[in-house]
Amino acid sequence: MQKYSDRLSYYVMILPGLVLLIAFTFVPLFYSVIAFQKFNPALGIQNSPWVGLENFLYIFRVRDAQQVFFNTVFIAVMKIILLELAAITFALLLNDLRFLRVKRAVQTMVYLPHFLSWVILAGILRTILARNGLLNDFLGLFGIGPVYFLGRPDVFPWVIILSDVWKEFGFEAILYLAALTAIDPTLYEVAELDGANRFQKMWYISVPGILPTIVLVASLSLGNILNAGFDQIFNLYSPIVYSTGDILDTYVYRVGLIQGQYSIGTAVGLLKTVVSLILIGISYWIAGKFANYRIF
Amino acid sequence: MSKKWIIKTLWMLVVFSLLLTACGTPATPTATQPPAEPPQPTEAQPQAEAPTSTPEYQWGEWRNTDPYRPYDERITVSVVKGGQESAGTLPAGETIENNRALKYIEDTLNIDVVFKWVVTSDAYLDKLNLAIASQDIPDVMIVDAVQLQQLTEADAIEDLTPYIEKYANKDILENYAQTKGVALQAATINGKIMGIPNVQPQADAPIMAFVRKDWLDKLGLQPPKTVEDIEKIARAFIEQDPDGNGVADTYGLTGTMNPINVPSNLHGFDAFFNAYGAFPELFYRNSEGKIIYGSVQPEVKEALALIARWYKEGIIDPEFATKDGGKSNEIVVSGKAGIMMGPWWIPWWPLVDSVTNDPNADWQPYLIQDKNGQYTFSMGDYTYSFVVVRKGYPHPEVALKILNVQNDLSYGLNNAPQYYPNFNEIWGLLFPIPFLIEQPYVVERMGREYKAALDGTLDPSTFGDAMKLEFEQIKADVAAPRSNPSNWATRMARLDAALLLAQGYNEVRTDPVAARVLANDPNWPSLKKMEEETFLQIMTGARPLDDFDKFVEDWYKSGGQALLDKMNQ
């Protein structure tokens, strides 16, 4: 009985998330059928004419879709790689800090941006990245720029990638810090006796120690390869950077909701869901094989 | 605190955040929406006065004609509304849902207007699309051409053919007639008039330059006539510190992320393209009578070269391509710019705020001529939106009746009360259906009449009430310029800018046949996107000018040629 009530509290904690998940992810999934219709909102799902795969064929024909697909994968992959690198490096460095107080203060500061929404951060970024903003003033000291960060198609994706890394790496590092605390301290003591310096300890003990976590996180993030971050890009982009900054989610939003081509928008969204599902399957298989991670 | 506990907590945190991420993944726009409450008829209004006996209003015989006859029993009509964020600009004590103009409409027709929802302008389109998708539309609403088609196919709106002639007042019918039938044609699907079309005053389209005369005088410059003059003035405004604060903080030309947008483009570059004989975004007939697309003509390349050079030399706001209209308005209002491109009515918004902040800001309008000294401008369609009535609503004619009374309020006809001195700045908030059916050339006509009245060749007592009020404002500003920003705005828009237009200009406009094809073409949004980003990138130097040729080639290949073929069938 004790055991059961113990578990009950966990179920209750899951409940709100589960309700949201069902309401906003599972229920809309059924409406995906409009991807196979020439959907007329005023007619509704029952009465709109069916067109088979026509919408999907259209997506493969227009040049927008290919560009948007490439942008999404590029931005998402870069985000994943750089974010993990930054988080691992940061965790390793922080782990070596002797002063507990400084360690805690730094850790709190760097994961603070994680809790701010992109609507707010985008406003701040726009000011920082403006022509007479903080960053351009700083670059000006070295005779660079001013750079039109949000208006140059070649620079824009990197603004997106790096600002996201900046926002998230502190939070991501928590995982690795937790993994680092699990390493047996006697290993370090032995290494010290053998005369290993700090970097050798880091390289031969810490890194192998968290390797399973790295593999796990990397393989699980495969499922996110088509999620390049709608909130962030939507709040920062404009027509001039469509060629490199428009991603699947922003495209679906514009085509589906602004231009009213619901079926096309849904077809793109459905395609994304299917590809993501396959990727998640692969990532689960890899995680199980190399990091011994299993849900079921 | 045991280590195990920490790890457990951390994992819970991670799992929780993953769960949140999963929730945040937008899959498809959800079509579920809580059903809105059906409009409740508010019965037994305390001041439901008996018709014709109210001392407050001056109703006449006209009220017993079809276009105005009050309903025997008070009926309810539901509408929807954007613009909530501006509600603070209404007079004290008045709201979007409750104001004197709205009450006059309700009392005149014996109806209750119920607002199904009121949202901000940003959210309006999304909300309307959702309302249509969830088949929960108001009794009367404003839609665009695509929505008109969809709603008609779905049999969700009333056929208004039997009502237009009978219930529209003679002013509205006359305005439709002046478009030579184009307006009603645009609303006709399969021979039935499915919506009440708007009529845009044609003067909304020509983009003119408003320039601060006080700055020109200070720097000893002549007012602009040509594109070259604009360049010279903009350069001087940047370099010669026209506001005299000793800091190089003034802009030459402002712009937005939509540099070309017909009509009514605030901060738009359209007029510069027109001066080069280029008419981007329009499908017009060439000398052989064939429909061609303006954005792919060689003249566009010349104009793009000009803008790109200006951008490179710093004449245009270096960040225009990521700014929206509101952001660029701020530059003007804060006194940091001396040139603003826009239609004749921008003195009412946003220039009036600039004058409020700095009474010395002497904005004057100027038209830009082309190389041959002619004035030719891109014109918008007469009609681009429609009022529709929900299928099954028992009184479809009420939409027309409301529009009649709104028209009276706008122009002071039929003794409609004139409550608001700043009416032109807030009409969109006051009216239940913020929709204009105007005379296509009303702006020019009114400008001429005001001028004649000022010169003493026309008796101002012949004006309707709305024009009388405006004429008082104009006179007050002529006597003491810029002493009252509202008076100044009315004078500058209605008199100075309108008279410029009244001098005459040539028009280039999208062919009605082309407009029909466009509204239903799946490739058009994609072509438009390609054009927008290419032009912006060429303007800002992110791509070389010669990429224009590649754009033209791509445009024809990716559906443009097919589009033109369909139009020229």
Single-letter residue type at A84? E
Domain boundary among B371, B403, B430: B430
Instruction: Please indicate if any CB of chain A lies within 8 Å of the CB of B146.
Output: yes
Single-letter residue type at B307? I
Residue B16, in any domain of the structure: no
Number of domains comprising chain A: 1
* Mean pLDDT calculated for residue range B266-295: 95
Distance from C-alpha of B174 to C-alpha of B179, rounded to nearest angstrom:
9
Instruction: Please indicate if any CB of chain B lies within 8 Å of the CB of A155.
Output: no
Instruction: Please indicate if any CB of chain A lies within 8 Å of the CB of B2.
Output: no
Q: For residue A187, give its domain range.
A: 59-290
CB contact under 8 A, B522 and A264: yes
Helix, strand, or coil (residue B403): helix
Residue A295, in any domain of the structure: no
What residues of chain B lie within 8 A of the CB of A261, using their CB? 522, 525
CB contact under 8 A, A240 and B14: no
CB B233 within 8 A of CB B224: yes
CATH number at residue B76: 3.40.190.10
Residue A91, in any domain of the structure: yes
CB contact under 8 A, A17 and B20: yes
Residues B219 and B177 in one domain: no
CATH number at residue A193: 1.10.3720.10
Residues B498 and B548 in one domain: no
Q: What is the pLDDT along chain A (296 residues), one digit of tens a residue?
A: 556 777 888 889 999 999 999 999 889 888 899 999 988 888 888 888 999 998 998 888 877 888 899 999 999 999 999 999 999 999 999 988 888 899 889 988 998 999 999 999 999 999 999 988 899 999 999 988 789 999 999 999 999 999 999 999 999 999 999 999 899 989 999 999 999 898 899 999 999 999 988 888 888 888 888 888 999 999 999 999 999 999 999 988 888 877 778 888 899 889 998 998 999 888 888 888 877 777 66
A7, exposed or middle or buried, with CB in 10 Å at 0-12, 13-18, 19+?
Answer: exposed
Interface test with A, best of B247, B529, B551, B555 (most A CBs within 10 A): B529
CB nearest to B31's CB, from A31, A58, A273: A31
Residues B363 and B449 in one domain: no
Residues B105 and B236 in one domain: no
| Residue spans of alpha helices (H) in B342-496 | 352-357, 398-411, 423-430, 442-455, 465-479, 485-491
The shortest C-alpha distance from B6 to chain A (Å) reads 8
By C-alpha distance, the chain B residue nearest A235 is B322
Residue A51, in any domain of the structure: no
* Mean pLDDT calculated for residue range B159-169: 95
Residue B227, in any domain of the structure: yes
Residue A5, in any domain of the structure: no
Interface test with A, best of B322, B323, B556 (most A CBs within 10 A): B322
Instruction: Please indicate if any CB of chain B lies within 8 Å of the CB of A239.
Output: yes
The count of CB pairs under 8 A between chains A and B is 156
Average pLDDT, chain B: 87
Residue B96, in any domain of the structure: yes
CB nearest to B558's CB, from A63, A243, A270: A63
Residue B400, in any domain of the structure: yes
What residues of chain B lie within 8 A of the CB of A41, using their CB? 129, 132-133, 135, 150, 154
What residues of chain A lie within 8 A of the CB of B16, using their CB? 17
Residue B132, in any domain of the structure: yes
Q: Is the dihedral of CA A91, A93, A98, A104 positive or negative?
A: negative
Instruction: Please indicate if any CB of chain A lies within 8 Å of the CB of B54.
Output: no
Partner residues linked to B381 by β-bridges? none
Radius of gyration, CA atoms only, chain B: 26
Residues B261 and B317 in one domain: yes
Residues B124 and B190 in one domain: yes
Distance from C-alpha of B545 to C-alpha of A234, rounded to nearest angstrom:
28
CB contact under 8 A, A243 and B126: no
Tokens of B73: 């029993």
Residue B2, in any domain of the structure: no
Residue A136, in any domain of the structure: yes
CB contact under 8 A, A261 and B522: yes
Which residues make Cβ contacts (< 8 Å) with residue B172, sequence separation at least 6? B400, B403, B404, B407, B437
Give the residue among B412, B416, B388 at the shortest CA–CA distance from B400.
Answer: B388
Residues B321 and B390 in one domain: no
CB contact under 8 A, B537 and A257: no
CB contact under 8 A, B526 and A20: no
What residues of chain B lie within 8 A of the CB of A115, using their CB? none
Tens digits of residue pLDDT in A112-128: 999 999 999 999 999 99
Residue A36, in any domain of the structure: no
What residues of chain B lie within 8 A of the CB of A133, using their CB? none
Instruction: Work out the percent of chain B whose per-residue pLDDT is above 70.
Output: 90
CB contact under 8 A, B522 and A240: no
Tokens of A76: 């998402």
CB B231 within 8 A of CB B309: no
Tens digits of residue pLDDT in B344-397: 999 998 999 999 999 999 999 999 999 999 999 999 888 889 999 999 999 999
Number of domains comprising chain B: 3
Provide the edge-to-edge strand list for the sheet that holds B196-197.
B140-144, B385-389, B196-197
CB contact under 8 A, B257 and A41: no
Element (H, E) at B113: strand B111-118
Q: For residue B450, give its domain range.
A: 442-502
Is it the case that residue B3 has pLDDT exceeding 70?
A: no
Residues B355 and B241 in one domain: yes
Interface list for B 430-489 with A (CB within 8 A): none
Residues B243 and B260 in one domain: yes
Helix, strand, or coil (residue B150): helix
Instruction: Please indicate if any CB of chain A lies within 8 Å of the CB of B558.
Output: yes
Residue A37, in any domain of the structure: no
Radius of gyration, CA atoms only, chain A: 23
Residues B341 and B480 in one domain: no
CB contact under 8 A, A25 and B3: no
Q: How far apart are the first and last CA of chain A?
A: 25
By C-alpha distance, the chain B residue nearest A172 is B14
What is the structure's pLDDT at A217? 87
Residues B334 and B212 in one domain: yes
CB contact under 8 A, A239 and B156: no
SS3 labels along chain A: CHHHHHHHHHHHHHHHHHHHHHHHHHHHHHHHHHHHECCCCCCHHHHCCECCCHHHHHHHHCHHHHHHHHHHHHHHHHHHHHHHHHHHHHHHHHHCCCCHHHHHHHHHHHHHHHHCCHHHHHHHHHHHHCCCCHHHHHHHHCCCCCCCCCCCCCCHHHHHHHHHHHHHHHHHHHHHHHHHHCCCHHHHHHHHHCCCCHHHHHHHHHHHHHHHHHHHHHHHHHHHCCCCCHHHHHHHCCHHHHHHHCCHHHHHHHHHHHCCCHHHHHHHHHHHHHHHHHHHHHHHHHHHHHCCCCCC
* Complex ipTM more than 0.90, yes or no: no
Residues B367 and B271 in one domain: yes
Tokens of A107: 């850790």
